[in-house]
């Protein structure tokens, strides 16, 4: 393996919770039901497709202009929440793992459907860890289409079979498999049968890749 492509929201940073809060606010205004189960279906899915899922679940119909207004309203509340992000939003386990993977010579990329990925990377200081960023601004089809990951591999100069994708979304695991990548599931995707491997926290990647029983304790890895 030569490269790892990380989803962003819900894998490296807890912005999935901000997506939930912003959609909940919009759904309440529309009188549409919204809960964690429905929110999980929106993981990895583009903003407008997410709104379509919420509307069809509530059997609500809106005009194109109304949909655009609602999607913009959701994005404005979401971006307000993003303004609160600082480098402290990235936990130590994540930071140390990214450092180790880089030290070991792996190429790292972001593969996210979000158009807000650049803002999140900047606010959290995560940008410095990555050789390439493929996000909602350079794709025409969001997950489960493999485009975002295929672009990430291309930006890294690697083939899909040389790369592993880490995802919390079932749509993201489907996208990775459709693109010919190895797919590692975490959090909501961990129970998904299409995952090649499952991890509970990011540092478990180190064990999976090098097959050594590494332990992350007191800020460092020991074999």
Contact region with Mg ion (CB under 5 A), list: 68-76, 90-98, 169-177, 184-192: 169-177
Q: What is the distance between the terminal CA atoms of the chain, rounded to a whole angstrom?
A: 20
Tokens of 105: 């010579």
Q: Does 44 bind ligand G6P (CB under 6 A)?
A: yes
With binding defined as CB under 6 A, does residue 9 bind ligand G6P? yes
Q: Which of 135, 145, 147, 168 binds Mg ion (CB under 5 A)?
A: 168
Smallest separation, CB 31 to ligand G6P (Å): 21
Q: Which of 94, 113, 124, 134 binds ligand G6P (CB under 6 A)?
A: 113
- Omega of the bond leading into 9 within 30 degrees of 0 (cis): no
Decide if residue 46 touches ligand G6P (CB under 6 A). yes
Binders of ligand G6P: how many residues, by CB under 6 A?
Answer: 17
Nearer to Mg ion, 164 or 214 (CB): 164
3-state per-residue secondary structure call for 4-72: EEECCECCCECHHHHHHHHHHHHHHHHCCCCCHHHHHHCCCCCHHHHHHHHHHHCCCCCCHHHHHHHHH
Residue 204 binds to Mg ion (criterion: CB under 5 A): no
Surface-to-core class of residue 173, CB atoms within 10 Å of its CB (0-12 exposed, 13-18 middle, 19+ buried): buried
Q: Which residue has the tokens 């959090």?
A: 187
DSSP secondary structure letter of residue 193: T
Residues lying near Mg ion in the complex (CB under 5 A) are found at 7, 9-10, 168-169
Residues carrying an active site annotation: 7, 9
Residues lying near ligand G6P in the complex (CB under 6 A) are found at 9, 19, 42-47, 50, 75, 112-116, 136, 169
């Amino acid at each position: 393996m030569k490269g790892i492509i990380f989803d962003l929201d819900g894998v490296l940073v807890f912005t999935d919770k901000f997506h939930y809060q912003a959609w909940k606010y919009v759904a309440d205004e529309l009188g549409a039901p919204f809960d964690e189960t429905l929110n999980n279906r929106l993981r990895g899915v583009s903003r407008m497709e997410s709104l379509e899922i919420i509307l069809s679940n509530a059997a609500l119909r809106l005009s194109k202009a109304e949909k655009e207004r609602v999607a913009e309203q959701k994005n404005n509340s979401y971006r307000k929440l993003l303004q609160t992000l600082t480098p402290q939003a990235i936990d130590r386990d994540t930071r140390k793992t990214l450092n180790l993977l880089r030290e070991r010579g792996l190429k790292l990329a972001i593969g996210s459907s979000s158009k807000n990925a650049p803002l999140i990377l900047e606010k959290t200081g995560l940008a410095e860890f990555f050789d390439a960023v493929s996000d909602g601004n350079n794709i025409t089809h969001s997950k489960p289409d493999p485009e975002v990951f295929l672009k990430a591999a291309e930006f890294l100069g690697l083939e899909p079979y040389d790369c592993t994708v880490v995802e919390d979304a079932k749509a993201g695991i489907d996208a990775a498999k459709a693109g010919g990548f190895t797919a590692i599931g975490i959090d909501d995707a961990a129970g998904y049968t299409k995952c090649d491997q499952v991890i509970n926290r990011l540092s478990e990647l180190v064990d999976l890749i090098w097959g050594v029983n590494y332990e992350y304790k007191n800020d460092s890895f020991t074999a």
